[in-house]
Structure 1
């Protein structure tokens, strides 16, 4: 059961007005940083919950954020889990309350959910992944003069990793190891990762490079079965190796597909790291700790969280690239 502001102030040994100023982050709050932290910690411990109704009616800021996942599958990704924990922790330390919402595959339902959050006084929206009805969601938030930032979305203010550069570095590693006969396994040849390939061979046409190096995995839509991704990686690796046993390196859409490729190659006597090089994306726990060398790309979630939290107090309208870390592994 939530306690009252009066009880919280009594427990903190402060006046109600002082505690109210701290919780509402008023500019006329002259309390020390240690006092502010003590009040927020005590409020959390005692289960104090602010009422935002009067603030919404006055148009005041509620210091409330909504973190929206574009689809359920994202919640299974390790780097997204890490980012969410960082965001929740950082926002809490700054005195923000947070909603965490997974959007659906119905655009109208997503818009209704965002309108409900707006009616609750949410000041700042963080959209992770492009949901159905993305443009309508952004338009509604901006219409209400609230801030919204995206990660891997098409929003006006969007954070993204420099995927093309990370891909170029992985492919350069293949070439440095003498592996020029490589394949890139993606859902679409329009992926930004293919730009890394084009940058690496500026004297060759995109059509020629796609024909030689691209392998289509397919469109997975809302599929969120990790084992399914591994099985697709297994089957596609089998298809590639049966067509050309001299293939020297494979760069997969994600680590899940790469792990499926590892299984096929191991079953068929290939020495990974010697006969063939492998690379995935996301640098998940299973890849980081695998007995075999699988290169990958790690998301800079700490830097992303910092930029997103800072965005709660300032307006921005641009794409912000964040440098990903390429983790190269070999025998």
Structure 2
């Protein structure tokens, strides 16, 4: 004999609430219910093993608790900071009664659209894009026109989401260097990043100073192998060329910590002292802690980032929310105190 499944209406009746209110509680949306009522809903759901009829909602095009987490390309799935974000999302969405699909885009326009439609057919009604996919604006418009929730993380074209304030971190690096009297500062960032993101955040007089400080770095694009090793090699070549071209360089700012590790290897090979040129990276990769390289980086709290994204997923807060990072110095931080003799 097949056991009858408890329905949302029955849970609502037992709680003396409207079915729509119970649905809002289970979806994590804000209600005017007391905490006692909310706790009772969750207790009854657990007691009777209530599960929403997802299949019916999918077939009828109704809302579901299914989220698609979509990486813009394979390269960023290897990014340590983004892996931490992903794991926090897995845990947090599960705690909020959401199911999750994960996908990685290829960069091919037709394949990307086909993949997004496939996720939609599987019941995804909310989409979180990590990184900036190729032709993202078209994907976003398609999903928004269908009434779906669309968010981005570190997505430069997204109209809604959360972004680690890396530009703010670079500006703080420049502030630090200027206070220290450094003049010959070079930024290993793409011309697009410099022009569209960094320079507009600086006062006009500082824009003029740093407009020609870029190291003419090419955009990385799609990487199919080990991205950390790829960044290491890029940093190695960039630092080597810059020192040969500009022997008096005092500081270099890079896109990632792996670029910095490559740059440090290049400087060592060229006979440069460890503290001769100040190096700055981004995202506080764990490998830096064990490298012994003298450098500065920025750490972003991915637990906080995941919570902000899930909050926006539920409460529909438009716009981009910036996440400020913490500046970390190596090997002088407490995490690397074991590098120093007692």
Instruction: Determine if the TM-score, normalized by the shorter chain, exceeds 0.5.
Output: yes
Which residue in the other structure is 1:228 paired with?
230
Match of 1:12 in 2: none
Q: Per the alignment, do residues 195 and 117 of structure 1 end up closer, same or farther by CA in structure 2, a change over 3 Å counting?
A: same
Match of 2:181 in 1: 178
Paired positions, count:
310
Rounded Cα–Cα distance in structure 2 between residues aligned with 1:38 and 1:135: 42
Equivalent runs, 1:246-261 vs 2, <5 Å: 246-261=248-263
Determine the C-alpha separation between the residues in 2 that align with 1:271 and 1:37.
63
Does structure 2 retain, via aligned residues, the 8 Å contact 1:280–1:294?
yes
Partner of 1:27: 21
| Aligned pairs for 1:23-172 within 5 A | 27-28=21-22, 33=39, 36=42, 52-153=54-155, 154-172=157-175
Q: 1:193 to 1:138 in 2, by over 3 A?
A: closer
Aligned residues of 1:170 and 1:328 also touching (Cα < 8 A) = no
Corresponding residue SS for 1:203: helix
Cα pair distance change 1:32/1:157, threshold 3 Å: closer
The equivalent residue for 1:309 is 310
Instruction: Determine the C-alpha separation between the residues in 1 that align with 2:289 and 2:41.
Output: 42
Q: 1:244 to 1:155 in 2, by over 3 A?
A: closer
2:30 aligns to what? none
Shift of 1:174: 2.1
* Correspondence for 1:210: 211
* Structure 1: segments with no counterpart, 5+ residues: 10-15
| CA–CA separation in structure 2 for the residues paired with 1:27 and 1:244 | 65
- 1:277-316 to structure 2, matched below 5 A, reads 277-316=278-317
Of the structure 1 ranges 67-76 and 100-109, higher mean CA displacement relative to structure 2 is found in: 100-109
- Give the distance between the partners of 1:299 and 1:124, measured in 2 at CA: 24
Contact 2:11 2:44 in 1 (8 A): no
Q: CA deviation at 1:40?
A: 6.2
Shift of 1:107: 1.3
Secondary structure of 1:319's counterpart equals strand
* 242-251 vs 184-193, greater mean Cα deviation: 184-193
Query: Once the two structures are superposed, what CA deviation does each residue of 1:110-164 show, in whole Å capped at 9, x if it has no partner?
Result: 1122122222222211111121231221112112111111112212213222333
* Superposition TM-score, scaled by structure 1 size: 0.82
Q: 8 Å contact 2:261–2:293 — kept in the other structure?
A: no
Structure 1 residue 317: deviation in Å?
2.7
Deviations 1:215-256 (A, max 9, x none): 022122102433222112111111111223221111111111
Name the CA distance, whole Å, in 1 between partners of 2:103 and 2:182: 44
**What CA distance in whole angstroms lies between the structure 1 residues aligned with 2:258 and 2:147?**
40
Q: Match of 1:214, SS? A: coil
After superposing the two structures, state which structure 1 stretch, 254-263 or 48-57, moved more.
48-57
Cα distance in structure 2, aligned partners of 1:20 and 1:297: 51
Q: Residues 59-118 of structure 1: CA distance to partner in whole angstroms, max 9, x if unpaired? A: 432211110111111101001000000011000001110111111111121112212222
Cα distance in structure 1, aligned partners of 2:87 and 2:310: 13
Question: Could you say what secondary structure the match of 2:222 adopts?
Answer: coil
Secondary structure of the residue aligned to 2:64 is coil
CA contact (8 A) 1:56 1:121 kept: yes
Give TM-score scaled by structure 2 length.
0.79
Match of 2:190 among 181, 187, 191: 187
Which whole-Å CA distance do the structure 2 matches of 1:156 and 1:296 have between them?
Answer: 28
